[in-house]
Amino acid sequence: MILHLPVSEATLQKFQESEPAQVIETLTIHELAACIVISKLPAITAPNKTRVVEQALAQLISEANQIGLREFRAQLSGAITRRDLNAGKAYLRDSIQLMSQEEVAKRNFLYKSGEYRWNHQVQASGRKANIYLAARTDRGTYLSDDQDRILNQIMSDPDESVDVQGYAGTGKTRLVAKLTELLDKGNVLLLAMTYPQLLGLTSRIPNQSNITGKTFGNLADEILESNLLDPTRRVGDRKRRKFSLSFPELARQMGYRSLGKLSPQQVAEVVNKTVNAFCYTQDTQILERHIPKYVLPKIQGMQTVIVQMAEELWETITGARVGPELPIKGYHRIKRLALLRERIPRRYTHIIMDESHDLPAPVIEILERSPQAVITLGDRYQARMMTGNTQRRSPNIRSRTMNHSLRAGDNASDLYNGIIQHHPVTPQARFIGSEEKSTEITYYDSFRVPDKYCAILAPSCWHILSVMQLLAVNQSAFNVLPGALGDLKWLVEDAIAFYRYRIRPSHRDLQNFASWEDYVQKQTDPVVMKVHKLFEAGYEEKHFQETLSKAGSSDPAKSYMLGRIDDARNLEFDRVMIIRSSDPIQNNDRHHLAETINRLYTGISRAKKELIVPGYLKDWLTDQAANSKR
């Protein structure tokens, strides 16, 4: 393999005729990177010298692109000398040569993004060798340029924390897998906020004895319950998902009465939401700003009373106050852990936290307080919570970016960038699709099941039920994503019992409505009325179970995969169809716009080869582009 460095003999001669500092100011990023590499050739003694040199060249170009040509030139002032260049030129051999001026000017060695295009012998396999990693592992390992650059930066100081923000499909999970291989001497704790996220992460990481995977809620339970002297830290069945109360029941158990214009049920709802808001902040006590804004006109002059009631509810939930047994959720436990100023046990040497874009403030607080090196990976445009409850890590933490996709083709870049450029949070870098792949994009106006098997991602469980019934009637094979299956069963079974037998539901979407009819009347999504008509036609739980029994009986590669967009996080599919949401995109509502774009971006970024999206998205992007030109 012959490596041609992107600098000419004529350019190197300039260093002999003029001051190096003056020459540096006239050169491009790739020419400067080549000069640095040449000056270091005498120090490179590895047997695979050509690969090591090419890796160094690619990394220099990538890092220079991050900081810009001006800063790169400034950093190289005094770093390139005539003596070093002359010494390095003596090491140019048959396997490492210079380019001609014409070859340098053509820039065929660069992608459109400015990143280095690896030698065609390596490119033919679609991968490149990571020399640092190969020296530390028993088998050959291959990483993308982004992964390679960030891995080397992390491992150069593995005891320092770092935050990696990478677009969907750039290989963050694969980066985690390689990190766990390198951190084989330590005890690594893999964390995620939900079990589906954790499963998606651990399923792609080799089984290693030094790796422990937990949800943050489970970790909070473990730390809290390790103190055997405090009985309030052990909550038993109260933390089970189905241990829940409706607002009327909460009002009854807490003895709430009407307050101003609020009924007892409304008081319970407001007090509960005030406690919930508190749990997602760094505040150490419940304050008036935690009260939902929508209710303030109805409680003028009574905010202090609401705060006091919220404090009593919080103390009852956590066991600090004697009262009825109330459900305790993961966010309650995490907030209590933060208030107790607990840390993650020292037996873990490194913490890797995935999906860091969705971390509530108390989680960040616990991570920052803990003694270990904490490596967080996320994508701000996949965040679920856009209400100010999430928090970025300390500005003192090293921060790195990944923007080159390994999943989507370059032809999808315009769609990705077209969506995220209208996000309230300005992108730090453009999304760059893979030039070696292609993602076909199709728009539709009316929903119909695609002819080819694909993942069908829906806004809600009701859409999943609707599509599932359609597939069952057509005798088409289908599966339901694990993250959706439990919630789908809970919702549909509760809804049927609510409609048919008037049994009070425990599902969060239904529990605060007086009746099934009351629920249907207050919904805006037409799919709910379709489900209602299905129930009116005699649909019972046995019919649902019969349909559900057909799920999972086929090869996933030869079946339709059903789920919500949130259920597909950390997953990828050859073909993806996005079902249109009934909610319009509201450009004048910052939070709603952010949540809508995040949901769309998360959905489309699951696709590798084919993407089927609602036609309104194309119209919206066209309108946005037109408005931006005015």
Lowest mean pLDDT across 118-122, 167-171, 197-201, 452-456: 118-122
Write down the CATH number for the domain with range 134-221+338-402: 3.40.50.300
Predicted confidence (pLDDT) per residue in 177-227, tens digit: 888 888 877 899 999 988 877 887 787 777 677 889 999 999 999 999 888
Which one is predicted more confidently, 103 or 56? 103
Predicted confidence (pLDDT) per residue in 571-619, tens digit: 899 999 999 988 878 778 888 888 889 999 999 999 999 999 999 998 8
- State the Cα–Cα distance between residues 107 and 104, nearest whole angstrom: 6
Tell me the backbone φ, ψ of residue 86, rounded to 5 degrees: -65, -40
pLDDT at 323 > cutoff 60:
yes
Per-residue pLDDT, 164: 93
- State the Cα–Cα distance between residues 607 and 576, nearest whole angstrom: 5
Whose structure tokens read 């307080």? 369
- State the Cα–Cα distance between residues 161 and 159, nearest whole angstrom: 7
pLDDT at 137 > cutoff 60:
no
pLDDT at 264 > cutoff 50:
yes
Predicted confidence (pLDDT) per residue in 228-244, tens digit: 888 888 877 787 766 77
**Which of the listed ranges 176-190, 323-337, 551-565 does the model predict with the highest average pLDDT?**
323-337
Using alpha carbons, select from 569, 562, 528, 573 the residue that is nearest to residue 457.
562
- State the Cα–Cα distance between residues 438 and 478, nearest whole angstrom: 26
- Band of residue 385 on the pLDDT scale cut at 50, 70, 90: low
- State the Cα–Cα distance between residues 356 and 242, nearest whole angstrom: 27
Average confidence (pLDDT) over 102-118: 84
- The full set of domain ranges for the chain reads 3-125, 134-221+338-402, 236-327, 407-628
pLDDT, mean over the chain = 87
